[in-house]
Structures are given as structure tokens and as C-alpha cells.
Structure 1
Amino acid sequence: MEHSTGLNKNLNRASCSPLRESVLGGVPAKILFFVLFTLSLAGCGTLSETRLPWERSGECAAFFGRLDAAVSKEGVRNAAQAPVEGFPYLRSGRFEASMAGRLSGGEAKTAWTAWMREMDLSARKREIANLSDDALRELAESREALIERASACSRELFERDRARPDFFDALGPRLAVPDEYSSALRALGLYPLVTIPEYKITVRVRERFRAWYEMPDGKLPVDGTLRVYRPPAAGGGDASGVIAASANNPLAIPRPSADAARELALRYAPILIQDETAPYDRVGRVVWQGETPIVDADKPALYYYLSYARLKGEPVLQLNYVFWYPARAGELAPSIEHGRLDGLTLRLSFDPNGGLFMIDLMNNCGCYHTFIPDRSRVARSIVRYYPNDPFAPQWLPEFGAEKRPAFRILSGWHQVQRVLAAPYPGEGVDYELIPYEALESLPTGDGRSASIFDAEGIAKGSDRVERFIYFPTGIPSIGSMRQRGHHAISLSERTHFDEPDLFEKYFEFR
């Protein structure tokens, strides 16, 4: 397998940016202007909002108002998708929001809106499950009754709204999903002044990572014992059948059923080759210990969910695997990153024919994002300004019917050092595959449930010292583990893991 590629040449070049030139100039007046200008932008965020052209009234509008107030008071809002202002029965992710100007025909638009209704109802079910008994008493309804009423009111409001000729025109502008960057934090932290150290840190880290990928497989250092985690055995096949069958809808977007999604997740479930030196290197199931989420390493588990992106303008299906460690710790991990809970997200992206064309990965804080593209699909990387060029230290290995993705992982810091194509191992520790939604409504042991994430999408109890050092990047709670939909992956730009055009931002595809 080749480890160094022509692609890396693009990634080694540093280019000067106007931002850095302004830093080097060091003119106080320019810095003051930047601070004031950025704060003014942050403060004017609501000026562009427009009122809904019709008023909400009636029992269903009042019901959603009461339910949302209870959810907000309890702090149990599911932040995986964003509520749509003025449409209490809809929620959207970045991909769904990006479809607003791309659809033609009433059937496709209706299917798109129905998808966002499903997202809202799914999130509300978990929010209602996570409400306290006191909140239920105030609402004077049982959980089952609240879920049933939410479904009925969602249907009623949607049917009423879509009868209006201006429905889709009013909906489109309200679908912007808030980003994970704070302009105010960047201004208060004098962000231009930190670009130089941020640049140096990124260069140093990338050089270290690239050195791993350039080593022969057998030369990677082992600090402890290599523990192999293997998935439940699955039958053969590929993604093409699931994608073709599930894309037969007005949106022409693959939307597998829960059973089909699990079948696909089993087919591609990765092998983890973990260098284990201490208990913090053991992958496990997330459980509650009091009010704190911890990892039960005696019950190995990976969580999975589907997402969507675009390849050459066409929608593509993505399969995400998320796993957790008790902590980030040890001598190999920077001390400011040490803390409870750690994890990785491995994402596989399939073209419309079911071909795997990209694996990308990150720590669950959104840190150290890495691309592993298919060499035959990439014409070139798009050179931006370093360190915002794509970091792609390895080409995608070739997978056959008998091979699946395997990841060699460093101890303590939990960084991927190599992506391999490997047969199903004859020996290893079996892990369980669990839908990601389980993390958003996890039984607490006292008959209740709670999300491991707070209402801002931050994993509870995963704070890091980094937040006091790197706040000028504009990422609140930087270093903390984050919920899907909340991964900021760049320290210098405004880039998110779930951006639908992320790949085309960094690569030109054949």
C-alpha cells in the first residue's frame, strides 16, 4: 500500500494569507477596527430576520409553545438539528437546509418538508423521554400523550401551512443552521494575533501525523499491547443495493430504513487496532455514573448514524461510526487535552453507485480532521492558504468483498496512524453496534433517561483546559466532546464536519 502521495506535495506548501500579513503588520488601529467590526457583525445577527407572513394561533401553536418552554427550562433540547424559526414542527441539519434552492416541483418539496418533520418528531420523542416527572406534571400529560399530540399537531400545522401559496418562499430563508463559531470570542481574543502560533502548532502536528503514515505498517511503534476490536460478523455485499433501493423517492436521495441502515453499518463496520497501555485506551459503551456519562470498557460498542453530502453536485450517503474511550490521557497526548471522555468518528462516503470514495475522520471534539480519499477519484487538491489545505496523508486502500476498513490507533491521544483494508480477524474483542440516537436518550438507571449532550451539543463532563487557551479561535468549549452537527473542524476558518460541500471545498473530483 502506498503511503506518500503526490497529494501530499500540495499539503506541504505554506502560502501567505492577507490575514497573516495584517498580523505581521501589527498596527493597533487595524486590530481595534477588527474587534469593533466583528462585534458589530455579531450584534446585528437578528437584523436580517423577517417576520412570518402569517400569524400562528390555535391549540397546536400553543401546545408547541408550552412543550418548547418546558424543554428549554429543563435544558433537554436535542441539538442534533436546528429548529426552524416560525415552523415549530420542523428541524433541519446543514444538508437539508442546503436543499432549499435546489428543488423543483411540488412533490420533491413536499417530501423534503416531510423529512424535516420526521427530524423534529424524532428529536421531540427523545426530548420528551428526557423530561423530568415535575415537568410532566406541569404539562399535565403523560409522555405517550405528549408524543401523540406532537405528531398530530405537526401534521395539522403542516397541512395548514402547505395550503398557502407562499409556504415554500417563507420557509427557505429560515433554514440557515447556526455555525459553531463565535465572532464575539474571536474579537475579544484578538484572533489575528493567535494565527501565528496556531499556524506553527498545525504545522508541527501535521508533520508528526504524516511521519506515522509514511512508515511501513510493521514499523509503527507499539507502546503497549495491540488489542483488536472486531464487529459482529456480517454477510457480503456492498452499498450499491441499499443505495439504489432507498433512493427511489421524489428527492432521489438514498434514505434507508432503520433495518437497511443497520445492514449497511454491519457490512462496513470497522476493525479497530488499538495500542493499549492503560484502561483509558479501552473502547466501551457509554453509561451513566450518577449525572456523569462514563465509558463501560467491559461492554465494547460502536455507535453509528447516517448523514449526507455532495459529490460533483449529487447527493451521497455517508456512514458514520462513533466510539468512545474513558479519557484522553497519557504521555503521548498533550496535557491541555487531557480529560474525561474521548472518542473518534470515522466516516465512510459512498458515491451514487455505492462506491466508497472517501473516508474522513476526526476526534469527537472536532479536532485533527483528516481525509483519506480514493486516488482514482481525485484530480487534485484545492490549495487554499496553509494550514487550511486539506490534510490527506494517505490514499484510500482497495477494499474487496472480503476486506473492510481497519484503523490503527495510538495510545492515550487516540489518533489514527494508518487506514488499512483487512479481512475479518479470526481473533479479537467483539463489539456491539448501537444506533447513535441511544446517546441522546440514555437510561439513567432510575427509570429516567438523559442525553449525554447538553442543549448546546457539548458532551457533559468533557471540559478541557483548552477552552481557556484557544477561545480566540471562536469555538466555545473547544476541546470538549461534541454531538453530531456541532463539530467545528478548523481553527482559522468557519468549517464544519457536516457541511454538504465539504469535499468539493478541498478537492476537485474526476
Structure 2
Amino acid sequence: MPYAARPLCFQLALTLLLTALAGCAGINVAEVDRVAVRESRASIKASLHDCHAGYDALDAMARDLGTVDARYQRVEGLAHLRTSRFLASFDVAALSEAAYQRWLKHQNSHAVEGLFIEWLRLPPASQQQLSHYWPGDQAAVKRALSDCGGALVAHQAELPRLTGMTTDGQYQNWKRWAGLYPLAVMPFYLGVVNEHRNLQQQQREFANNDTERAGQWTHYLQPLPTPSPAEALELLRQQPLDELGIPLLGSAIEEQLLDAFMPALAIKNTHGAAADNDRPAHLIADASGAIQRDTTQPTVYTHVSHGRYQGQVTLQLNYSVWFAERKAEQALDLLAGEFDGITWRVHLLPSGAVLGYDKMHQCGCWYQFFPAEGLDAQPALPRTQEPFNIGRTLHPEQRHTLWLAANTHHLLGVQAANAPRATQPLTVQPYAQLRALESPDGHYYSPFDAQGLVPESRRPERLVFWPMGIPSPGAMRIHGTHAIAFIGYRHFDDPWLLEELGLE
């Protein structure tokens, strides 16, 4: 048992050493030291074997039963590591020893998080089968995974470096070949350009109709007082960086940053009131494991991620909102279906500079970037790559309100947040909660399947857009799996996205 075996092995080695030193005056001390070292190394080796076996057993069980968590990508053959496009972007060969160990620790942290979520979602009988490796309650299992992870990372750091690590893209090239992509891409390209023009036209019209907003919207706002963006950025400037250049944020600082840039929401009413499918939903699991969308508790889900910009690591503040559905607006509406939502993201430098903002729907569709004032996005893209939709510049130290259309939830405008007299409170939850939702009977479920998709959210558009190579286009999916371009290749979590945008 990894958690119990390591302390026991070290206690045994220490006992042998102390007994030899105290009770055998005629024994050569150097010989006793060698015996103790051999015993300790044997104990550590046994502990590492148990840890590897425990990680592998849990990983295999999750795969077999379909409780795989797709937030981070597995490293085949190394169950104690899970990677991301950000972590895979480092030149491992050029890292110092300390930076390399930190890189491994970040990947083990992702693995511990994912394996624990997968363990939570296992049936009790399967958890019992793994109790030889992971005994006890939730706290004990999480602690054991972390303890084993520390030992495995230390051992991994002594082995030849893991160079050349790559991540899987969210495109299926076989579909592009089967769908005659080179021929199909031109009408899709024209369709994307036309869609960008339509959305930008809607946003211009919205910006010119200030007097028509009052009374037509339902407003949602985080009710608690928070630090201003300027105050939060000053806190960020004071935080140290780890060996990889990643800001070291305590949970309190991270929460303050997320609170400071939390957007307010204004969603257009239908027939004088908010429609049920336009209320930000709180996702819950019922006793059968079905994921329900509770609109009585408007919720925003937050998390922090990272990217790159001009040789520095950026901090990304993510705010995800979910809706019950997008209703059909005509007889054959390819875009309608269960579940809908939008993610808003803020890009920061460790120096406290705001670089810009971007958004996408939870399907990865309708990506748009908004530079911060003083910066401009001038992407230089080949014709084989989908053009970006660039919005207007935004003030870098303001809270913003996202104005969303009814039903489609398209972003009509981004304005400085001025709280109206009537607002509804937003509950804030960690995004990771979505990966393991507790049902009333104490079991855990997730809206995301092993591929990271929400199966119930499949859209009819997938029958038309499949030649672009995206799995189930239009379906909602977990962060880390969002393709955000039909033409070419582009991911929401691409660490070099700001560079591709030509942000200066």
C-alpha cells in the first residue's frame, strides 16, 4: 500500500540503523552505515514499486470503466504524469535541474488531480478492489496519491530526461481526408468570414443603442465586495515565480485575482423576462447519474491556466457559464441542442500587465479576441489558416459586463460594469467541480465522457461540419479539448495563441 508502505519502510531502515549503533560497540560504524543505506534503498525501491503499481491499477480501472478524466492528457507508460499543451511547450533539454523537477511536479499534480477524480467516480465495489493500494476515505486516498507522486517524481528526475513530449491535437485528420478537405475548405472559409462580419455588425449596432438596454435584460453579478482590478494586479506583481517562470499563487491570491476580474452578465429577456434556458445554470448530478441544469442558482465556474507571450509565462483567468440548452429557432436548426455556454478569459503578465481578453462558446465555436488598450492584434496568417475575429480594445483595469443575446448566447457587447439596481447574485464554483459532481446518494458523475465531450449536447451540425476534422462539432466539451478553428489547426489552450494573434 503506497501510503502505508513508505513510512513503514523508512521506520524499518531507521530502526535497523539505531539498533546496530546502540547495541554493537565492536562493530565498525562505516559497515553499519552501509548496511543501513542498503536497507533504506531496498525499502525505497519497494515503496516505488508499490506506488507505480497503485497508479497503474487505478489508471487501468478508470480506462476499463470509462471514468477517464480528459482535462489533462495522459503520458503513456507513466501514470504518475499528465501533461498539457502549456507544459509540453517547454524545451526540456534546456531546463536546469531545479526547473526540470518543477516541470515534473506540475505534471504529477495534474495526474494526482485526475486520478483522484477518476477514483471518486468509480463504483464502490471498484474502489474496494483498489483498496490494497488506496485504502481509507477520500482524504486518505488523495494524500496517498500525493505522497506517492512526490516519491515517483524524485525518482523520475534521476532518470534520463523525458524530452520530445507532445500532446494530441483535437482534430481527426482521417475525416479531413475522407471529406475531401482541400475542396470543402473554401465554402467553410467563406462561411467563417461571413459569420465574423455578422457578429461584428451585431456588436457595432449594440454599442450604438445605449438607450434601449434598460429593462430588457436580466443582470447577474457577484454580490460580495472584491478587490479592484488595479489592486489585484498589484498583488500579482508581488508574487514570486517558480523555476519555470510560473507565478506562485497561494489560494487566497488566486481567489482575489479571479474575483477582481469576474465579469458581470446581462442576458437579454424574452417576452419581458429571462427564459429558463437563458439563466446561468448550476450543474448537478441526480441519483441516476444524469446531469441536471439547476437554473435557480446562477453559477460561474472559474479556474486559472497559463500561456506564453514574448518569453514570459502568462496567467489566464477563466470564467465559464453554462446554460440548459439552445432552443431551435426554425424547423431545421443545426445549432440547437441540449447544454450551451460561454467561457470568458483574461490574459495577464506576472508584471501585472493586462494583455487582452477572449471568449468562446463551450463547443470551442465563435472564438473572439479583445486586445487591452495600448495593444493591437495583427495576425499574419496563411490562407490555409482560419482568420481571427478581433473585437474592439478594452480598458485593462475595469470590470466588464458581458451582454449576451437570448437563446444563442452570442456576445453582443462588452462594456464597463455599472451595476444596475436589480441584479441576481452569481455563485462562484471551481471548474474542477464539474469533473466530479456528487449525487444525492454520494456517488460521483461528470457531464464529460472519456473524450471530454458532453454526449447529450451533440448538435445536428456534426453531420455537415465533420469534414473539418473536429470530433462532434458543436458539442460542449471540457477545457483542454477545445478546437477553435474549422480551417487549419488552433486550440483554445495553445500556449502560443497570443503570438499567433500578432499581439503587440
- 2:227 corresponds in structure 1 to 235
Deviation at 1:224, TM superposition (A): 9.2
Deviation at 1:81, TM superposition (A): 0.7
Matches within 5 A, 1:486-501: 486-501=481-496
- 1:483 corresponds in structure 2 to 478
Q: What does the per-residue CA deviation read over 1:259-315, in whole Å, with 9 as the maximum and x for residues that have no partner? A: 221111111110111013221111121112443323211100100001111122211
- 1:420 corresponds in structure 2 to 415
- 2:64 corresponds in structure 1 to 73
Higher relative contact order (CA 8 A, sep 6+): 1
Contact 1:405/1:420, CA 8 A, preserved across alignment: yes
- Determine which of 360, 375, 385 is the counterpart of 2:358: 360
Mapped to 1, the partners of 2:86 and 2:169 lie a distance apart of: 13
Distance 1:231 1:372, change over 3 A: same
- 2:86 corresponds in structure 1 to 95
Contact 2:245/2:312, CA 8 A, preserved across alignment: no
Q: What does the per-residue CA deviation read over 1:31-58, in whole Å, with 9 as the maximum and x for residues that have no partner? A: xxxxxxxxxxxxxxxxxxxxxxxxx983
Mapped to 1, the partners of 2:243 and 2:76 lie a distance apart of: 25
Q: 2:176 aligned with 1:181, yes or no?
A: no
Mapped to 1, the partners of 2:217 and 2:382 lie a distance apart of: 38
Deviation at 1:59, TM superposition (A): 2.6
Q: What does the per-residue CA deviation read over 1:440-488, in whole Å, with 9 as the maximum and x for residues that have no partner? A: 1111111111122111111242111122221111111111101010000
Distance 1:452 1:100, change over 3 A: farther
Mapped to 2, the partners of 1:310 and 1:399 lie a distance apart of: 18
Deviation at 1:103, TM superposition (A): 4.7
Mapped to 1, the partners of 2:377 and 2:129 lie a distance apart of: 59
Deviates most, 200-209 or 179-188? 200-209
Deviation at 1:183, TM superposition (A): 0.9
Contact 1:202/1:387, CA 8 A, preserved across alignment: no
What is the number of equivalent residue pairs in this alignment?
Answer: 446
Q: 2:215 aligned with 1:219, yes or no?
A: no
- 2:256 corresponds in structure 1 to 263
- 1:286 corresponds in structure 2 to 283
Q: 2:49 aligned with 1:58, yes or no?
A: yes
- Determine which of 269, 273, 282 is the counterpart of 1:276: 269
Distance 1:143 1:491, change over 3 A: farther
Contact 1:270/1:406, CA 8 A, preserved across alignment: yes
Q: 2:199 aligned with 1:206, yes or no?
A: no
Which blocks of at least 5 consecutive residues in structure 2 are unaligned? 1-46
Deviates most, 479-488 or 240-249? 240-249
The one-letter code matched in structure 2 to 1:258 is S
Contact 1:333/1:413, CA 8 A, preserved across alignment: no
Q: What does the per-residue CA deviation read over 1:147-177, in whole Å, with 9 as the maximum and x for residues that have no partner? A: 344333322322222223x2x2xx122x211
Deviation at 1:333, TM superposition (A): 11
Distance 1:472 1:430, change over 3 A: same
Mapped to 1, the partners of 2:387 and 2:352 lie a distance apart of: 28
Q: 2:301 aligned with 1:303, yes or no?
A: yes
Q: What does the per-residue CA deviation read over 1:363-408, in whole Å, with 9 as the maximum and x for residues that have no partner? A: 0000010011124122733243287222113222x255xx411111
Contact 1:389/1:506, CA 8 A, preserved across alignment: no
Deviation at 1:189, TM superposition (A): 1.8
Deviation at 1:241, TM superposition (A): 3.3
- Which is greater in Rg? 2
Q: What does the per-residue CA deviation read over 1:192-224, in whole Å, with 9 as the maximum and x for residues that have no partner? A: 232132123212211210111222525287799
Distance 1:380 1:464, change over 3 A: closer
Which blocks of at least 5 consecutive residues in structure 1 are unaligned? 1-55
Mapped to 2, the partners of 1:121 and 1:477 lie a distance apart of: 29
Which secondary structure does the structure 2 equivalent of 1:457 belong to?
A: coil
Contact 1:284/1:325, CA 8 A, preserved across alignment: yes
Distance 1:103 1:347, change over 3 A: farther
Contact 1:399/1:405, CA 8 A, preserved across alignment: no
Runs of 4+ with deviation above 4 angstroms: 220-224
Contact 2:48/2:152, CA 8 A, preserved across alignment: no
Distance 1:421 1:399, change over 3 A: farther
- Determine which of 406, 411, 432 is the counterpart of 1:411: 406
- Determine which of 190, 196, 199 is the counterpart of 2:180: 190
TM-score scaled to structure 2, two decimals? 0.83
Which secondary structure does the structure 2 equivalent of 1:380 belong to?
A: coil
Mapped to 2, the partners of 1:80 and 1:495 lie a distance apart of: 17
Which secondary structure does the structure 1 equivalent of 2:409 belong to?
A: coil
The one-letter code matched in structure 1 to 2:70 is A
The one-letter code matched in structure 1 to 2:453 is I
Mapped to 1, the partners of 2:442 and 2:471 lie a distance apart of: 33
- Determine which of 427, 434, 449 is the counterpart of 1:432: 427
Distance 1:224 1:239, change over 3 A: closer
The one-letter code matched in structure 2 to 1:121 is V
Mapped to 2, the partners of 1:426 and 1:445 lie a distance apart of: 36
Contact 1:333/1:412, CA 8 A, preserved across alignment: no
Deviation at 1:114, TM superposition (A): 1.2
Mapped to 1, the partners of 2:83 and 2:238 lie a distance apart of: 24
Distance 1:437 1:332, change over 3 A: farther
Deviates most, 193-202 or 372-381? 372-381
Which secondary structure does the structure 2 equivalent of 1:377 belong to?
A: coil
- 2:392 corresponds in structure 1 to 394
Deviates most, 291-300 or 248-257? 248-257
Distance 1:101 1:64, change over 3 A: closer
Deviation at 1:136, TM superposition (A): 1.4
Deviates most, 77-86 or 299-308? 77-86
The one-letter code matched in structure 1 to 2:356 is M
The one-letter code matched in structure 1 to 2:439 is T
Which secondary structure does the structure 2 equivalent of 1:423 belong to?
A: coil
Q: 2:131 aligned with 1:157, yes or no?
A: no
- Determine which of 107, 110, 115 is the counterpart of 1:119: 110
Contact 1:246/1:253, CA 8 A, preserved across alignment: no
Mapped to 2, the partners of 1:206 and 1:146 lie a distance apart of: 48
The one-letter code matched in structure 2 to 1:271 is A
The one-letter code matched in structure 2 to 1:429 is Q
- Determine which of 460, 465, 470 is the counterpart of 2:465: 470
Contact 2:320/2:342, CA 8 A, preserved across alignment: yes
TM-score scaled to structure 1, two decimals? 0.82
